[in-house]
Copies of this chain bind each other. A is one copy, B any other.
Amino acid sequence: MERRRFLVKAGGVLAAAGPTVAIDAPNVIAQPKFQWRMSTTWTPALDVLQGAAQRLGKIIDEMSGGRLKIQVFAGGELMPAFGCFDAASQGTIESFMGAPYYWAGKEPGMQWFSAVPFGLNPQGMMAWYLHGDGLKLWEETYATFNLVPRPGPSTGVQMAGWFRKKINSIADYKGLKMRIPGLGGKIVAAAGGTVVLTPGGEIYTALERGVIDSTEWVGPHDDMKLGLHNAARYYYYPGWHEPGTTAEFGFNKKAYESLPADLKAVVDHACQATQVHTLMEYEYKNTVALQKLKTEFKSKVEILQLSQPTLKELKKLADTVVKEESEKSPQAKKAYASVKKFEATVNDWRLISEAAYHAQIAAA
């Protein structure tokens, strides 16, 4: 075959199962092909989060002209939802998608990379990753697990969660069995709650059967995809525990480093494009879902605001608990100090930009 002869002459490189090397010719390059697998912590019903993984695969495929293909699996398809971090760490798969606070048992410091209660909003978190030390510390923390992290979808300010009983004061958190990960969970525990960490796909059953009394997930769109509006009546805001949540894309270090420079850049910027794409998707889809809750499910769901005294008490607990948590490892200590410093810096600007806009312009 003509094609085979050509390949042989082009420096003896043949199409093989593994990546092939680039030939130093100005306009003709042998194209290495990479076929990766990504396993996520999500259920297929979560069209925004699982959709973000699929979208990442799609735009990497497009931008690389087919040289890097990522086959994406939902939790449970290839392995259990929470098995993907270890699998990517060990190199069984090349990449995963989840949220850093799911892995807090391995290293408490990871919690800060997802969301900080009473902390930064989406812009703030994203700014901390790139203009503060956020991503640097995250990379440092994940390097010990042979992983390279990249900020993934930004959910925007979340909802405080679904409750089977009303929350009238901080006392109502006492004895509450709640599904809530990360630092938010530590605060609910400090308020007297019992905290569990359940993958998305298993929450509805737990709530519906009364194994838990309450759960937070993301916002109206995702929560309805999980059916949570059919399992609890009271839906509270604002999401004090997750004002600027960021999910993650994680890559096996060896796999990531084996990519040529252009494909590394494709992966990095595809993650960033996906981050903002998802923030927009949430902004829109949460809006549509909220309207549905207010009309179609009007008699079944009450959307309520957490009272100011309740939030004050939660914040008081947060100040203590988050600090205590930061003393559990050197990485946690560094992340805590870094985000705290960054937050203090951006707060002045937030107050006269976004906050003033929402307060003053809405009132005008």
Contacts and interface: CB of A to CB of B under 8 A. Distances in A.
A26 B33 CA distance: 9
A277 B284 contact: no
A356 B13 contact: no
B124 A59 contact: no
Given A33-B27, A123-B279, A240-B361, A132 B284 contact: yes
A7 interface: yes
Interface stretch (A38-46, A74-82, A89-97, A266-274): A266-274
A130 interface: yes
A356 B311 contact: no
Contact of A27 (B15, B275, B358): B15
Contacts of A10: 6, 10, 28
A191 interface: no
A243 interface: yes
B279 A126 contact: yes
B63 A265 contact: yes
Most interface-central of A33, A291, A354 (chain B CB within 10 A) = A354
B357 A362 contact: no
A339 B159 CA distance: 26
B28 A353 contact: no
A204 to B, nearest CB: 22
Interface in A335-364: 345-346, 348-364
A131 interface: yes
A18 to B, nearest CB: 12
Given A28-B29, A239-B357, A364-B240, A277 B272 contact: yes
Contacts of A29: 28-29, 31, 65
Contacts of A238: 352-353, 356-357, 360-361
A334 to B, nearest CB: 19
Interface string A208-219: 000000000001
Contact of A280 (B130, B287, B345): B130
A9 interface: yes
A308 B361 contact: no
A87 to B, nearest CB: 27
Nearest to A277: B272
A262 B156 contact: no
A281 B351 CA distance: 17
Given A15-B26, A260-B65, A280 B357 contact: no
B65 A353 contact: no
A255 interface: no
Given A28-B29, A123-B279, 17 more contacts: A27-B31, A59-B265, A62-B262, A62-B265, A65-B261, A126-B276, A156-B354, A238-B357, A238-B360, A269-B273, A272-B276, A276-B276, A290-B348, A290-B352, A294-B348, A311-B363, A354-B354
Interface of A: 3, 6-7, 9-11, 13, 15, 20, 25-33, 59, 62-66, 118, 121-124, 126-127, 129-132, 156-159, 219-220, 237-240, 243, 260-262, 265-266, 269-270, 272-273, 275-277, 279-281, 283-288, 290-291, 294, 303, 305-306, 308, 311-312, 314-315, 345-346, 348-364
